[in-house]
């Protein structure tokens, strides 16, 4: 069963080196979304946190030897599904970013842990317990 996805936009950042995870990043950048999706961004507001799903386009091909990896910040080998390695069976990443500004189809964000040009697959809201399940 093939699954086909098309990027909805790309990440833009001037950072040459990005942190290993969004939780340790204060890098700012932009999510440049294709204008055909602009109307879908209308309720994203500054101060909000959003989940960005992206494609690890620079990650090497996955092989069974990568089912267990030793992350650079850990001293132990761990299963790929318990770590945030970009070397995975399906190279999909997830970051939670702070929205700084929305201008048309461009979202300025903080917390970038993606390289310039990284394809964006989807954006979702961060839903907290007090917001209920309906979002």
Residue 134 has pLDDT above 70, yes or no: no
Instruction: Provide the pLDDT for residue 132.
Output: 61
The dihedral of CA 28, 116, 48, 9: what is its sign?
A: positive
The pLDDT confidence band at residue 45, using thresholds 50, 70 and 90, is very high
Contacts of 84 (CB under 8 A, 6+ apart): 20, 21, 71, 93
pTM score, two decimals? 0.86
- Indicate if the pLDDT at residue 23 is higher than 90: no
Look at residue 131 and tell me whether its pLDDT is greater than 80: no
Return phi, psi of residue 124, to 5°: -135, 155
In angstroms, the CA 110 to CA 113 distance is 9
d(CA 33, CA 99): 14
User: Which residue ranges form the domains of the chain, and what is each CATH number?
Assistant: 9-59+88-127 (2.40.30.70)
Q: What is the mean pLDDT of the chain?
A: 90
Count the Cβ atoms, other than its own, within 10 Å of residue 124.
12
Query: What tokens appear for 44 in the block?
Result: 């994203």
Average pLDDT over residues 82-109: 92
Give the pLDDT score at 126: 94
> pLDDT confidence of 17, banded at 50, 70, 90?
confident
Q: Return the pLDDT at 112.
A: 95
Say which residues have a Cβ less than 8 Å from residue 22's Cβ, sequence separation at least 6: 95, 96, 97, 111, 112, 113
């Amino acid at each position: 069963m093939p699954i086909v996805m098309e990027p909805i936009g790309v990440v833009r950042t001037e950072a040459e080196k990005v942190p290993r995870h969004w939780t340790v990043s204060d890098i700012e950048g932009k999510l440049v979304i294709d204008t055909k999706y602009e109307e879908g961004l209308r309720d994203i507001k500054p101060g909000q946190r959003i989940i960005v799903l992206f494609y690890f386009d620079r990650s090497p091909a996955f092989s069974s030897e990568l089912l267990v990896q030793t992350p650079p910040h850990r001293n132990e080998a761990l299963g790929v599904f318990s770590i945030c390695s970009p070397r995975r069976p399906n190279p999909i990443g997830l970051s939670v970013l702070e929205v700084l500004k929305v201008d048309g189809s461009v979202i300025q964000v903080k917390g970038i842990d993606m390289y310039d040009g990284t394809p964006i697959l989807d954006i979702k809201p961060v839903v907290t317990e007090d917001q209920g399940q309906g979002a």
